[in-house]
Amino acid sequence: AAGVIQSPRHLIKEKRETATLKCYPIPRHDTVYWYQQGPGQDPQFLISFYEKMQSDKGSIPDRFSAQQFSDYHSELNMSSLELGDSALYFCASSLAAGGTDTQYFGPGTRLTVL
């Protein structure tokens, strides 16, 4: 079965640079979520989109923005990168109309800021 695809898998950036992370949800899923997991931490919710509209916002810095496109893929844009942004970034997708809240996660993008 098709899973959530994230690219790139690894990304190394310098401080103050920008980064773009991409997420391709499971086909026919209509909701995309972004989570950030720091070292030794649990995943923290950043932002979600339902049917291409921002649905909810968590602890996402103002330097970050995201959007969901017409083909349902999503991109997380991160500007003015800081050392503390180094983390695993997960995308998850779900089918809101499916009657359950089950989110399926991608493999993650490991961002390292030097």
Partner 1 sequence: DQQVKQNSPSLSVQEGRISILNCDYTNSMFDYFLWYKKYPAEGPTFLISISSIKDKNEDGRFTVFLNKSAKHLSLHIVPSQPGDSAVYFCAASKASGAGSYQLTFGKGTKLSVIP
For residue 72, give both structure tokens: 């349902």
Distance, in Å, from the CA atom of 66 to the CA atom of 14, rounded to the nearest integer, reads 21
Of 77, 75, 90, 86, the closest CA to residue 35 belongs to 90
Please report how close the Cβ of residue 67 comes to partner 1 at its closest, in angstroms.
Answer: 15
Query: From the CB of 16, what's the least distance to partner 1, in Å?
Result: 27
Interaction pattern, residues 47-86, with partner 1; x per rule: CB under 8 A: -xxxx-xxxx-x----------------------------
The H or E element containing residue 90 is strand 87-94
Binding site for partner 1 (CB under 8 A): 4, 6, 30-31, 33, 35, 41-45, 48-51, 53-56, 58, 88, 90, 92, 94, 96-97, 100-108, 110
